[in-house]
Amino acid sequence: MNRILNDRSLEEMALEGGERILDVGSGLGHFARRMRRAAGPAGRVVGIERSEAQRLAACRLAAEEHDEDGVDFRAGDALAPPLADDEWGTFDVAHTRFLLEHVPDPGAVVRPMVRAVRPGGRVVLQDEDHSIFRMSPSLPGLEAVWEAYYRSYERAGNDPYVGRRLVTLLHEAGAMPRRCTWIFFGGCAGMEVFPLLLENLRVILRGAKETIVREGGITEEAFERAMRDYAVWGARPDAAWWFALAYAEGTRPEA
């Protein structure tokens, strides 16, 4: 799944080579390293990750794959990136993906990203609007489980629809919005990627089962029935779902 999304994200970013990149919420570092490779030998990436376990895993994976050059994984918070005084305002690109949906104030993440790039530098935001997910043929039980899942974000004070707000977030943070688009993240029976998509959603929902049952108005019996129906649905020759990752970018105004 990382490979699929990373390929499509890099196509949209269209790095030209030599960029200095800030990756906010770099996680296990897969995309940070892909961006560094896309930026070429002169490219540099600073990845910021709050979870020390994920940061250490990112360092380990980079070492195991002999892919450490040009990548600096730092422990820190997206709200206050650990950058030296002389690093602010020097990055060509600041990027984040799948982070804004998990913070109560997404603008507090975007503002330092704008500050981190040089005048004319790009700020790239990628995140989800969970409400756009569609299945065909419709599977009401599973769709109810999905809605209960993403509404748990709201109860935690976060925004499961933040994807539709990316351009506004750029504007409010002082960037000049330049473009927005979708990165398709769906598929249907007959596509090589479809089994991976099916399994990815199954893992997500299974992992959130306790929250869905406790807070989403879904009984455990209804949850399990929906998952059984989903397994049958996934084997249909006409099964398809439609989902996409929202993508927006803007630039820091020239001085």
Q: What is the pLDDT of residues 6-62, one digit of tens each?
A: 999 999 999 999 999 999 999 999 999 999 999 999 999 999 999 999 999 999 999
Report the C-alpha gap between 132 and 20 in whole angstroms: 34
Cis peptide before 140 (omega within 30 of 0): no
Range 2-251 classified under CATH 3.40.50.150 = yes
Torsion of CA 92, 97, 99, 105, to 10 degrees: 60
How big is the chain, counted in residues?
255
Give me the percent of the chain exceeding a pLDDT of 90: 95
Domain boundaries defined on the chain? 2-251
Report the C-alpha gap between 69 and 158 in whole angstroms: 35
pLDDT range class, residue 217, cuts 50, 70, 90? confident
SS3 232: helix
Mean of all residue pLDDT scores within the chain: 96
pLDDT tens digits along 143-199: 999 999 999 999 889 999 999 999 999 999 999 999 999 999 899 999 999 999 999
